[in-house]
Structure 1
Amino acid sequence: MKDIPVHQLKERASTGLEMWHYQIGDIGGDDKPMDAHRDDHYIFFLVEDGSASLMIDFTEVVFSKGMLYYVLPGQVHHGVGYQKAGGWFLAVDTMLIPPDCRKVFEGSLVLQQPHLLNDEQIKQCSGLLNLLYQRYLDDDQLPFNLSVVHSLLQSFIGIMAGCYTCPENPNVQMSRPMEIVQQFKRLLVDNICSVKSPSAYAGMLKVSESYLNESLKKITGLSVSYWILNEAVLEAKRLLYYSQLNVKEIAHKLGYDDHTYFSRIFKKAEGITPLSFRATYRK
């Protein structure tokens, strides 16, 4: 059996964002739906007209006019009847999702559900996304344009996180592997600068390293080592973009004594050096 493919945003977008506005019927009937796959990034939707559905981790999720929805990195999904909807699509690098918002999006005890907006919320979100799209399409050489794009994007993400900040149903039961994965992700966000050992995280969770790895592979399809490295690179990308620290300082902040080793693993993960990444995102 072939592995489920993982689509990487960096292969399509160099600045952490890909977005488009689509109308009902934009995807022709002769076009085949994308096969089941995972993404290494977040996907956000706002449906403005019609209805659509996604098959996500073997569950069909239906959404219609006025609904927000998101897909997490690692979730297996494919479209079902999405040519019948109109609205917004955004693919976003995880480094551009504030940690507090990630905890909201990744903290659901069950598969995330569409969130229905009221008329005023739809108006606000559509206006913000239209402005974001205009700046997204503008010449990257315009002064501060990328910073404006990312600021508008984070405003939208903040609105979405606010919509999904609500108490979970206390009667819902989740599997032990799902519980372990969610606890691991929370620990990872809080401890990545000081802890990078799979066995250390297993110890914090009071499970064996093999069980932690098995749980992550079952829920996300990827190993504990992958997620540790992924989180370290994400934090490095944030520091390269938002801070003035040099590469050596960033390496030390992330717990790497050898900054040349840090640069090598960053380049292996991203395909470019840390300095090239900073230059690309700050242009």
Structure 2
Amino acid sequence: MKDIPVHQLKERATSGLEIHRFLEGDMPKADEPLGAHRDDHYLFFLLEGGLASMMNDFQEVHFEASQLYYVLPGQVHHRIKNFEAFGWFIAVDTMLLSPDYRSIFENQLIMQQPYRLTDVQLNQCKNLLNLLYEKYCEDESRTFYLPVVHSLLQSFLGMAACCFSHTGNQRLMTSRPVQLAQQFKKLLVEHVREVKSPSAYANMLNVSETYLNEALKKVTGMSVSYWIQQELLLEAKRLLYYSQMNVKEIAHTLGYDDHAYFSRLFKKTEGSTPLSFRKGYRK
């Protein structure tokens, strides 16, 4: 049986970001994934006008004007209809989201209803995204290209996180697997540098490793080991991009005594060496 495809942002973007403005009457691009798929990154949609709908983890979501919506990494989704809609599409590498922002977005695992922006919020987002898109389209070789683009992106992510943080008191009762998935991801962010064993996280949550794995697969489609590896890779990418530590220091910080093994693991997962990744993001 053919598995659900996972689309990687690094195959389309070198800056950890992809942003497009879609207009009324726009047709899907030839390489646009229309069927059910997962992404290894966050997706944000801001609808300025029109109507649209999407199937996300077997729930049909409808969009209207002035609504903001996002899709988590690992969620299965595909577009259904686009009724002369226009607005913004932003794809963001997980490494560019702070733990605080991720906590807010991932706590909305069940209540993935679009957030309706006020007129003031909508205008602020539109102005910010217009500026972000303008800088994004500039020559990547320009001085401070990435810092400027990423700074503007952080402003948008902060505004989005602020919007969704106010919906927490409306959260519906969640199932046991969803609760476990949320608790596991919280523990993972806090302990991944020291703890890398699936059984250790299961013990922290007072469940069997088998049950934790089943819960994660049911909610996210991915195993416990997959999420541990992804969180380690995310931490490595953050340290490579934001810190001045060398590869050996980063490996030790993440709990690897053998930095050569860490480098091989990074290359196998990311497709490039740690130094190549750092050079690519800092160019």
TM-score by length of 1: 0.96
Partner amino acid, structure 2, of 1:59: Q
Task: State the match for 1:118 in structure 2.
Answer: 118
Q: Does 1:128 align with 2:128?
A: yes
Task: State the match for 1:255 in structure 2.
Answer: 255
Segments ≥4 residues shifted beyond 3 Å: 28-33, 167-171
Task: State the match for 2:27 in structure 1.
Answer: 27
Q: 1:113 to 1:170 in 2, by over 3 A?
A: closer
Task: State the match for 1:207 in structure 2.
Answer: 207
* CA deviation string 1:241-262 (max 9, x = no partner): 0111111111111111111111
Q: 1:13 to 1:62 in 2, by over 3 A?
A: same
Quote the RMSD (CA, aligned, Å): 1.8
Deviates more, 1:105-114 or 1:266-275: 105-114
User: Take 1:94 and 1:100, find their aligned partners in 2: how far apart are those partners?
Assistant: 12
Task: State the match for 1:234 in structure 2.
Answer: 234
Q: 1:21 to 1:199 in 2, by over 3 A?
A: same
Answer yes or no: is the 8 Å Cα contact 1:33–1:80 preserved in 2. no
* CA deviation string 1:106-125 (max 9, x = no partner): 01252311111111111110
User: Take 2:245 and 2:33, find their aligned partners in 1: how far apart are those partners?
Assistant: 44
Q: CA deviation at 1:213?
A: 0.7
Q: 1:77 to 1:109 in 2, by over 3 A?
A: closer
Task: State the match for 2:187 in structure 1.
Answer: 187
User: Take 1:36 and 1:137, find their aligned partners in 2: how far apart are those partners?
Assistant: 29
Partner amino acid, structure 2, of 1:125: C
Task: State the match for 2:63 in structure 1.
Answer: 63
Task: State the match for 1:37 in structure 2.
Answer: 37
Q: Does 1:160 align with 2:160?
A: yes
User: Take 1:39 and 1:33, find their aligned partners in 2: how far apart are those partners?
Assistant: 10
Task: State the match for 2:266 in structure 1.
Answer: 266
* CA deviation string 1:132-191 (max 9, x = no partner): 001111001110011100110011000000000025357822111111111000000111
User: Take 1:33 and 1:79, find their aligned partners in 2: how far apart are those partners?
Assistant: 9
Answer yes or no: is the 8 Å Cα contact 2:108–2:171 preserved in 1. no
Q: Does 1:220 align with 2:215?
A: no
The within-5 A match list for 1:139-150 is 139-150=139-150
Answer yes or no: is the 8 Å Cα contact 1:50–1:84 preserved in 2. yes
Partner amino acid, structure 2, of 1:80: I
Deviates more, 1:238-247 or 1:25-34: 25-34
User: Take 1:118 and 1:170, find their aligned partners in 2: how far apart are those partners?
Assistant: 18
Partner amino acid, structure 2, of 1:9: L
User: Take 1:67 and 1:155, find their aligned partners in 2: how far apart are those partners?
Assistant: 18
Answer yes or no: is the 8 Å Cα contact 2:111–2:171 preserved in 1. no
* CA deviation string 1:206-262 (max 9, x = no partner): 000011111111111111111001000000000100111111111111111111111
Q: How many residues align?
A: 283
Q: CA deviation at 1:31?
A: 10
Partner amino acid, structure 2, of 1:58: F
Q: 1:91 to 1:207 in 2, by over 3 A?
A: same
Aligned residue for 2:272, secondary structure, equals coil
